[in-house]
Amino acid sequence: MIEDLSHNEKLILNVFKKSNKPLKAYQILFQVQKKGIKSPTQVYRALDKLQEIGKVHKIESRNSYLICNNTDCLNKSSVSFLICNLCEKIVEIEDKLFSNHFSKICEEFNRKYTQHNLEIFGTCISCSEKK
Amino acid sequence: MIEDLSHNEKLILNVFKKSNKPLKAYQILFQVQKKGIKSPTQVYRALDKLQEIGKVHKIESRNSYLICNNTDCLNKSSVSFLICNLCEKIVEIEDKLFSNHFSKICEEFNRKYTQHNLEIFGTCISCSEKK
DNA sequence: TATTGTAATGTTATATTATTACATAATGTG
DNA sequence: CACATTATGTAATAATATAACATTACAATA
């Protein structure tokens, strides 16, 4: 629940809401320094919490973080993204299907599925048209 | 072709061959310091090349690198891994199927698939049995 | 309201991962 | 050999992330 976010957590969530783009931890830090947050630790703490509750996801290959606009994101820890290889625009995909599919794959390899991280790179329509 | 790897590239590929586990750049650096390699730059350069030719893949969520044992890996830039969430054992999955599937998803979103990065987390059999 | 326990914050330092920029050496080709 | 190209070496620094510990805020309850 967003209501019980702490002061710092709300601050940083707001930075995401305003930008609606993937952000890096130190970009966020620079944004909130005006508001009194001084150290990376504080940012990373908030990011951790926001990730735990599924409001923010990390894009591993980019070391960046993206707000989740799904009202109640299923992807607490599992995430699937489409990333444009040219302009870096990123879209999150909802994915019950993926989880089921990946669970089966895990079974084949004698593993118990817990979560996944999927990044699909491709050229978005506007970048395709620019050529 | 492995034959036309440079001296440093071969050195570092050998470190992977000996360990056969995911390695971090600075772990590699410590290993090869005996052999005269002194700086991270040198390691990262070799890693870049090894990744380009598909002999090594990066595991983004771990900032680590893994040798690819497929004789001629299809996954030059696309990779799919199973990662044990407990012991961190990692297995690479070959995946023509994935690429096809992800291409279709890209089409649905008006994108042209280029590559992907998939990390499926799950508990491996030996970790399951330990409980 | 005083006490006390917990969660949140603040602060400093440092670890880890990766790149830039530039200098030097080695190697192949005309 | 001369020259271009590729590989190496070297130093500095940027970018990302965590550890450790001090302080404050705040709610529960005696």
User: Residue B32 phi/psi, 5° resolution?
Assistant: -100, 0
Which residues of chain A have a CB within 8 Å of the CB of B125? 110-111
Footprint of strand D on the protein (CB under 7 A): A 24-26, 39-41, 44, 63; B 4, 6-9, 36-42, 45-46
pLDDT tens per residue, range B67-107:
998 766 666 668 899 999 999 999 999 877 888 999 999 99
Residues A106 and A52 in one domain: no
Residues A78 and A121 in one domain: yes
Using C1' positions and the CA of A9, the closest nucleotide is C8
- What pLDDT, on the 0 to 100 scale, is given for residue B75? 62
Q: Residue B36 corresponds to which tokens in the numbers above?
A: 């005269």
Residues A20 and A82 in one domain: no
Total count of domains within chain A = 2
Question: Residue B43 contacts by C-beta under 8 Å, 6 or more apart in sequence?
Answer: B12, B25, B26, B28, B29, B32, B37
Q: Residue A12 corresponds to which tokens in the numbers above?
A: 């940083």
- What pLDDT, on the 0 to 100 scale, is given for residue B3? 55
Residues B58 and B116 in one domain: no
How far is the C-alpha of A110 from the C-alpha of B125, rounded, in Å? Answer: 6
* pLDDT band of B63, cuts 50, 70, 90: very high
Does the nearest atom of strand C lie within 7 Å of A7's Cβ?
yes
Residue A41's Cα: distance from chain center in Å?
19
Q: How many residues does chain B have?
A: 131
Taking CA–CA distances from A114, the nearest residue in chain B reads: B122
On whether any CB of chain B is under 8 Å from the CB of A86, the answer is no
**In the listed set B54, B69, B84, which residue is the last one of a domain according to the structure?**
B69
CA distances from B61 to A118, A119, B72 (A): 11, 11, 24
Residues B93 and B58 in one domain: no
Q: What is the CATH number of the domain that holds A124?
A: 3.30.1490.190
Segments forming the whole domain that contains residue A118: 74-131
- Identify which has the larger pLDDT, A130 or B32: B32
Tokens 């509750």, residue located: A53
